[in-house]
Amino acid sequence: MSAVRLGTRRSALATAQSQRVADLMSAHSGPDVELVGIATHGDRSSEPLAQIGGTGVFVSALRDALLAGEVDLAVHSLKDLPTAAPDNLVLAAVPEREDPRDVLCARDGLRLADLPPGSRVGSGSLRRAAQLRLLRPDLAVVSVRGNVETRLGLVASGEVDAVVLAYAGLSRVGRLEAVTEILDPASMVPAPGQGALAVECRPRDSATTALVAPLDDGRTRAAVTAERALLSTLEAGCTAPVGAHAQVRDTDGQQPEMVLEAVVASIDGRTHIRTSATGSVEHAAQIGHDCAAKLLADGAGALVGQEVDTVEEGDPRSEY
């Protein structure tokens, strides 16, 4: 059998993620997997993510290559995927999720509560920035640019006192030693789909679909289904200040239960709306819809639709 061509973004983080999928495929079925690097619009542009289109800017080029037959499958950070699935591609596998939490990487081993007033904290995410301002309005949340190493370098050089990144991204590039605090998802709610990967294939390519099927993790797929259903119902893209964290919990002698926590915050951190929903894992999408309906009833629509062009934002070339 010829090598399976796996399309990936070219960044160190994306390559590490894609290599993880390739290794899982080899462990399950033994095919040779060739990584094919593809530059996306989000990688090439230095403009803020919201200004170049937000949702999908890291995805379109990979999908185009897949549809053109240049690759056999594509691996994405799941939180980059638009919530509307294309008719001509299938989400063939969602591997077991990495830790979805955000982390603080600060000077001198400091935790968020220990940072002195006025400390400069870097973030490239409206969601993180909004929640940081909510948690610590006395801090200066500033825009940072670049990949993981560049952002960590800003702390080392003293340009900022700390940065907030995703645990998953640091884990995948081997930089967990930089973490000074893992942030509680009850206070810093992760992005929908954070820490999860998505493997897309052409639906008619049954051979490749069968190769990646063993990688699918049912609990992870259910959790991200709920989170993305919430995002879809809110009609919010990946740049909106929306957090969603779904957990699947075992119950005594019953079907597993899903709990979805969600928050929508104003960009300045002065206003936020939180809610939760619980139900059967089998109804993951409905749980997401119900949670979003609660948020909208409480006024979340105005927060999701707020203007972002005057707000500092980080470099879209690194989603972590």
Would you please indicate which residues are annotated as catalytic (active-site) residues? 80
Give the separation between CA 61 and CA 42, rounded to whole angstroms.
10
| Residues in Cβ contact with 2 at an 8 Å cutoff, skipping those fewer than 6 apart | 32
Query: DSSP 3-state assignment of 118?
Result: coil
Which residues, in sequence order, are bridge partners of residue 274?
263
Give, in order, the Cα–Cα distances in Å from 126 to each of 28, 129, 237, 262, 277.
Answer: 38, 5, 11, 15, 24
Give the pairing type, strands 162-166 and 102-106.
Answer: antiparallel
CB atoms within 10 A of CB 46: 10
Give the separation between CA 123 and CA 141, rounded to whole angstroms.
7
Give the pairing type, strands 120-123 and 181-182.
Answer: unpaired
Burial of 52 (0-12, 13-18, 19+ CB in 10 A): middle
Q: Are 53 and 44 in contact (CB under 8 A)?
A: no
